[in-house]
């Protein structure tokens, strides 16, 4: 099936998660969630995959959110989960490819600059010029 969207989440040195939206032949969509772990003493990766269909999206999100909230609030309320908010991958480090492409593992190259953050611009009141004979004369000369 055709992949129409993909998101990669790097989790530690040996684990990567892939979220791939795929299209069916009937123009329907589903999600595959793949955990890819680098094998410890061997070359290659172990992959585990979940297929999630549109009719289960809301139930899945609800159960996942409740489970995460339970761990954060009941089991580990003093743990700093924000300490692990790192989305960058060290340059030159290998990353396991999900099965949405050619199946070749990639090397991340940070030679290109990341896209700058887009910030909204506050609206500005338009300035309406006042007409004067001097400004009209300047325009007429052109």
Backbone φ, ψ for residue 64 (5° rounding) = -65, -45
> Per 3-state DSSP, what percentage of the chain is helix, strand, and coil (rounded to 5)?
25, 30, 45
The pTM (predicted TM-score) of the whole model is: 0.56
Confidence at residue 103, expressed as pLDDT on a 0 to 100 scale: 43
**Residues of the chain with confidence (pLDDT) below 50:** 89, 91-116, 118, 124, 126-137, 139, 142
Confidence at residue 39, expressed as pLDDT on a 0 to 100 scale: 80
User: CA 43, 49, 15, 117 torsion: positive or negative?
Assistant: positive
Confidence at residue 86, expressed as pLDDT on a 0 to 100 scale: 63
CA dist 97 and 24 (Å) reads 21
User: CA 63, 65, 71, 77 torsion: positive or negative?
Assistant: negative
Confidence at residue 14, expressed as pLDDT on a 0 to 100 scale: 86
Confidence at residue 109, expressed as pLDDT on a 0 to 100 scale: 40
């Amino acid at each position: 099936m055709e992949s129409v969207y993909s998101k990669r989440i790097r989790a530690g040195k040996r684990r990567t998660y892939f979220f791939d939206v795929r299209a069916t032949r009937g123009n329907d969509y589903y999600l595959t969630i793949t955990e890819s772990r680098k094998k410890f003493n061997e070359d290659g990766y172990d992959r585990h995959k979940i297929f999630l269909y549109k009719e289960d999206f809301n139930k899945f999100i609800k159960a996942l959110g409740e489970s995460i909230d339970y761990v954060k609030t009941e089991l580990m309320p003093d743990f700093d989960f924000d300490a692990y908010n790192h989305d960058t991958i060290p340059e030159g480090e290998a990353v396991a490819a999900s099965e949405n492409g050619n199946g070749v593992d990639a090397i991340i190259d940070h030679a290109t600059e990341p896209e700058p953050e887009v910030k909204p611009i506050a609206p500005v009141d338009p300035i309406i010029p006042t007409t004067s004979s001097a400004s009209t004369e300047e325009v007429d000369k052109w």
